[in-house]
Amino acid sequence: MLYVVAWPLLAGTDDTALRRLRAQYHPKEAGLIGPHFTLVFGAKTDRETELRAALDGVRHRPFWLMIERIARHDLHLFAVPSDGAAELTELYEALNAAPAGEPFEPHITLGVFGRVLDAEQVARIVERQHLPIRGRIEELALLRYDGDRLETLATVALSR
């Protein structure tokens, strides 16, 4: 499967906090990939040429983001940007010719929980101790995931 992600550049303490949260509450994925915004989800590998061309065609400046809110959806916990959300959505729309049925909401997955109560409790703690988080998006990457490994196929620096 192929993915396109935006890598947030975060201050050291913010990056460390998000990595620790992911390691504790999303350990399967945290071992493969750090905090990121997924812009293309699980595309078939035969789309690699198309996605490389789409990435090469991206004309977007680097941009700032700010995460001020933690959201819960079912048993998942997400860090959701306020500043930078529109830019991430523009990138998503540029890279997905026919977006999926669900509306895109940029987010960093922080955890998957067994109980809603646990997710809500962690959300309150994160909001008190770690927000706001500020960062910058300067690079996108095309990744291939084969079930055990994640391989970077291409990276594109944002610039205009």
**In terms of C-beta density within 10 A (0-12 exposed, 13-18 middle, 19 or more buried), how is residue 74 classed?**
exposed
Strand boundaries in 44-75, DSSP class E: 63-73
- pLDDT range class, residue 74, cuts 50, 70, 90: confident
Counting residues of the chain whose pLDDT is more than 70, the rounded percentage is: 98
Residue 80 pLDDT > 90: yes
| Closest alpha carbon to 40 in 138, 135, 143, 137 | 143
Please state which CATH class domain 2-157 belongs to. alpha beta
Which pLDDT belongs to residue 100? 65
**Residue pLDDT, tens place only, 111-152:** 999 999 999 999 998 888 888 999 999 999 999 998 888 999
**Residue pLDDT, tens place only, 90-107:** 999 999 877 667 789 999
Domain ranges of the chain: 2-157
